[in-house]
Structure 1
Amino acid sequence: FGRFSYDDGKNETWAFTEIDRSLSLGITSDGKRWHRPTDRVGLAVVGNGLSPEHRAYLARGGYGFILGDGALSYATEFITELYYSKKLDDGKWSTPFPFRYNDVNKHSVGDPYLTMDGKRLYFASNMPGGLGGADIYYVDRIADGDWGSPINLKDINTAGNERTPSIGEGDLFYFASDGRIGLGGLDLFTARLKGDIMTGIQNMGYPANSPQDDFAFTATGKLTGLMSSNRSGGLGSDDIYSFVAKEPVIAKLIFGLEGKVLNRDTGQPISGATVQLGHGDGSMEKVATASDGSFSFGLGEKSEYKLAAEKAGHIRGPVSKISTVGLTRSTVIYKDLYLGEIVIGKAIKIDNIFYDFDRSNIRPDAAFELDKLVETLKENPTIWIELGSHTDSRGNDVYNQKLSQNRATAAVNYIIGKGIAKERITAKGYGETMLVNQCGNGVKCTEEEHQQNRRTEFKIVKQ
C-alpha cells in the first residue's frame, strides 16, 4: 500500500492491493474516516505516491525466467519489478513504464519509496553485490530525468533481508529487517537519516512489532500512521493496520546475544550443543546450536545473565557473565563459547601455573588458574582427573621427581579445599621424565625452551 495522492491539506488518497482480487484499490480519508474503496485497475501503487511530475511508482510480480544451460526455465521464486506511470492531462494514467534496473531473469526490485521532492527513489532488491538477501538501495534523479546508479545503504543492510523503506517526520527513516535481533520475522526499525549516512538504528519494539512479520511502516503524521503485518488476530495473511500513538513514535532499546559454540582445540563449530542463558530471577532459556555452531537470544534492558554450553562427550566450559546494565544504545553482544572433547588419558595443559624457585607453595597467580579448573570440575561432576606436574631437566633427577610430586600435591590440596571431592582427583609428579622437547640432561637450551617443560597438566581418567 502507499499514499496515492494529496488532494488538499486535509484529504489524501491511499492505494493498496488485495490478493484475492488482484486489483489495486483506492481509499480516501477526509481526516475523520475512510471512504469506500474504488478500483484502480492495472495500477498498483506501493510507494510514496506522486512525484512533482505526477508519476506513480508501483511493483509488479510474477514467476520470471532464468537462463541456464542455453535454455529458459521458470524461476523457482516470485520475482518483482518496478514500473512507473504518469498522470495525463485528461486525468488518466499512462501505460506503466519499466524501471531501468529491473532484471526479471536475475533479481527482484520492489518496495519503492519516492521522496517528496521526487529526486530520490528508495527500493529493495536482491540484485548481485548486496550484503545478503534483499537490501535497501537508492537512486538519485540525474539531469536527463533518468535515474543514476543504485547505492547500497550499507549502514542498515545485513546478511538477512531489509525491506519497505520510508521516511517520516524530520530525518526519521523506517525499514523492516529480519537480519537483526527482534521479536520474530520482519521487525520494524528506525534510523536517523543524515545525508547519505544512517545512524542510531533501533528496533521499534512492541506493539509495533510482533513475533510475525511487521513491515511497510508509513507515518501519516506525528502520531498517526499505517503498517502491514501478518500477526495473529488479523483477517487474512498480510493485513493493513492504522494506529494513533499516545506519544511520538520513539524507538525502544533492544538487545541481543549472538555467538557460536566451538571446539576448544580445533576451533571448529559444534552443532547440537545446548546453550543455557540463566536470568537473574532464576529462570533459564535453552537453545540448541545450529549446524554452524551458532546461537542467539534476546536480552532485556538493565539485566544480568549467566551463559554456558554443554554437549555429551565434551567438557563443559566455564560460565560467562552477560550484562546490559549501563547500555544506552541497542546492542548485539557477541560471545563465543568453547567446549573440549573428553578423551580419556589425554593431557590438557593448564596455562600460567608458576612456582617460586625450589618451592611448591601455590602463588596467587597460580591460584587464579587453578580456580578455573575447580569451576570445570564443578560444571562436569562426572569426570575424575589426574593432575600432573613436570620439571625441566636441570638439577638432580631424583630431586626433580620429588619436587614435581610436592607441587602436584599442593595443587590437588588447593582444589580439594575449594570443595572438590578428594576421590575425584589424584596428584602425580613426573619430574623430568616427560619432556616436550629435546632439552634433556646436558643439552644447551634457552630459558624459553626449559619453560616449555615446566608445566602442569590434567587428564581425565574416568567419566
Structure 2
Amino acid sequence: MKKIFTYLIPPIFLGMLCMNVQAQQGLLRYADKKASEENYFEAGKGYVDAYAKNPSFQAAKGAAKAYGNLRDYQNAYDWWKKTVAFQESGQEELLAYIAAANQAGQQEAVFAALDTMETREHEAITNLHLDSLQHWYAVAGNTGVKKMEGINSSNTEFGWVKGAQGRAYFSSDRGEAGNRNRSSVRIDKSYKYYTQSSDWTGRNFLNIYSVNEEGKISLFDPPVPDVFHATDPFPLQEQEVLFYTVTRDIRSSENYEVQSEIYFSRLDNAGNPIDFVGLSLNSPLEYGLKSPFVDEAENRLYFSSNMAGGQGGYDLYYMDYNSDFEFQAPVNLGPLINSPGNEIDPYIHEGMLYFASDGHVGMGGLDLFVSDFKGDEFLGVKNLGLPFNSPQDDFGFFETNDDKVLISSNRLQSTGWDDIFEMETLELDFLARVLECDGTAVTGPIEVNLAEGADNTNLPVEKRGQGLFHAKISPEEDQEIHISKAGYFAVQDNTISTKGLESGTLEKTYQLVKIPYKTAVHVDLVYYNLDESVIRSDAESALDRVAELLKSYSFLNIVVRSHTDERASNEYNELLSEKRADAVRDYLGKYGIDSSRIEAEWFGETELTEDCGEGVPCTEDRHQLNRRTELLLLAFPEVGKSYQVPLELQEVDLCDVSNIQLPQELPTIYFGFDQATLSLADKMALERVALMLRNMVERRLAITGHTDSRGSAAYNEELSKRRALVVKNYLEGKGIASERLVYEFFGKTKPVNDCEGVPCTPEMHKQNRRTELILPSIPQPKKKR
C-alpha cells in the first residue's frame, strides 16, 4: 500500500499544480479584460486572486498597476515591492516602484532605490524629476496642513469655495441625489461616465453641497436633467450665479464615453437654482469641460478641457463674456501653462494664477503651481512645493476673504479619498519697527534679542533697514523681545503671542526714548540763620518732602548746593557752606537715604543770589536770601548708565520730560492795601520759583495780578498790572527769560471772595489782593499701546 501511495502522490500533486496554474491563467485573463475596460476595481481583485493561486510577476505587476489607478497608494506600493522582487523586473518596474514608494510616503525606500539605479539618463527617471523631489524633501516648509473641520468624512470631499453671500460649496460622494437611480459610477478627477456596465467602482455619485454661515450642510441638486455627477461649484461674488460641472446620462445603442460639461444657474435668495444654462461649447461625446473659475473683474471664464488642439490631456482655457453671459471663442493659455499632461482647477488671486497639473515638474500625481501674469502674458510657472504638494494628488487651491488658504488632496493624512485641507503657517513673520520720539527710525547700532516659548529659546533676528528688524516665529507660542541702545531706555515686551494668529505678519512698533540724564524733577530751598548751619524749623517741611520723594522714586538722586552771604572771609564761608551741606545730608540720613544718592556741593560766597559784595550796601533781608541751600532732585543722575524704565514710570509718556517732573506747589503772593511791593517772605518764595525755572528749562509760567473790590475798576486794573509786573520783573532779575513769563491783570474782576455788596473781613480782602503763579498743566500719563 505504501508503494501505491508513493506512486500516486506525484501525479496527484502535479495535477493539482496544473489546476492552480489553469485557475490562475483564468483569473489573469479576467483581470486583464477588466483592466482593458478601465474597471480597475475588479481588475485589482482578479490579480490578487491570481497571485494567491500562484505567485507570479504578471499577477503582482497587474495588481500594482490596478491599485495605482485606483489611487490606493499603500497597496500599490506593496504590490510593486513584490513585483521588483521577481527576476523578470527591470528598470521600468524599479522606477514604478520608486514612484509608488513616493506616493505611499516611504521616502527612505525612494532614496534607497535611487542608489540602485544603473543610470539616471533613462527617460523614465527623467520624467519622475527625482532630483527635484530630493530637493523639495530637503527644504523645510513654512506651512503645514490641517483638515478642515466639519466638512471631511470617510468619503471624498474636495473643491471648497465660498461666495460673497456667505454660502460655501464643495464636492463630495457622501450620498446620491434623490433622482439618480442608476448604479453608482465614479472615475476620479475626469468625471467620465461609460455605458459599459463594468465601469462600476463601488462608490457613490459626486454631488455638490452647500454650507450656510451656521455650518449646516445641504445638497445642491442642479436642475439639469439626467445628471450623474455634479462637481466643481464656483459662485460669483457680485451676483447670485453658480457655475458647476455635470456629467449627464446620454443614452445610445453603442458603447461610448460621456464627458463632463459646464453649466451655470441663477440662484434665489435661499441659494436654490432658478434656471440652468449650458455653455454652447459643451460637447460631451467629443471632449470634456470642467473646473470653471470666473474672473468677474475681467468678465472672463477660465476652465479646463481636453478638446482637440491643446498641448495634451486637459488644458486651461478662457472665454470672455458680456453682461448677458454670451461667451466668445475659447483661448488656450499656451505652452507655458499647459503641458502634455493635465491642467485643472484654475484660480486667480491678486495677479497670480494658481492651478493643478500632473504634466509639469512635480512631486507625484497632481501638484499645485502658480504663475504671475500681467494682462494676458504669463511670467513663468512655479511648483508651490511642500506642504502645498505631496506625492499624491493636490488640487483645488482657494483663498478666502480672511486670508485662509484651502486645498484639496488625497495625501496620506486624508480620511477619505480626498479631503479638504487648510494651510496653517508653521512659522510666522515678525516685524519690529523701532522709532524715535518724533516717529523717525532709530539709527545706529541697536541690540535686539527675541526669545520664544517657555524655555526662552533665542531666535535669530535680521536687520532689514534703519530701525527695522525681522524674525521667523512659531505659531501658537509666546515671545519676548528686548531692545536696547546706548543712551536710551531699554524696551522689553513680553506680551507678544501668535496664539490665535493663523497667517500673515505680526508687526510691532516700539519707541526708544533717550534717557533724560540729570533732569530736575523737583527743587526747593532751605534758609539759615547768620553764621549757623543748623536746620531751621521752617526748612524741615521742605526736607521731609525731599526725603519722601527719594524713598518713593528709586531713579532719583539729590544735589545739595549750599551757600553763605559775603560777611566773613572766603575760607570761613566755604567751610560754613560745607557744614550746611553736611547738615542736609545728615537730616536726610535719618530717613534712611543712602549717602551715595546725595551729591553735596558748597560754594561759600561765590554764587550770591543778591549782589551784596564788597562795598555794596545790603539790607538784612537781602543777606538772608544768600544764606541758602538749593535742593535739586535729579532723575537718572549717572550719565552713560543704561537705565531701565522705572516701574513708577511704566505708564508715562517719557518723550515729554515734563511728564517725569513732579507737581510743584507754587506760591501766591499777597499784597498790602493799595500796594505792589514784595516782602522778604515773598522773595524767598519767588527764589524757589526762579530755581525751578532755571533747572526746568521747558517750563513756562503764567502770572496773573488781582486786587480787592475797593476802588474804581480803572484804578484796580492798573494796580493789578503793577502787582503782576513786580513778580515778573523779579524773576527776570534772577535770569529767567522774558518769553518764558506770560502775565495778565484782571483788576477786581476775579476775586477769591465776592465782596461786592457783601461785608468782607480784612483777611478776606487780603486774599483778593494777590498775584497767582500757574504752570501749564502737566499732561496725563500716556498708556503704552
Instruction: Report the TM-score when normalising by structure 1.
Output: 0.47
Which structure has more strand as a fraction of its residues?
1
Bigger Rg, structure 1 or 2: 2
Q: Identify the structure with the greater helix proportion.
A: 2
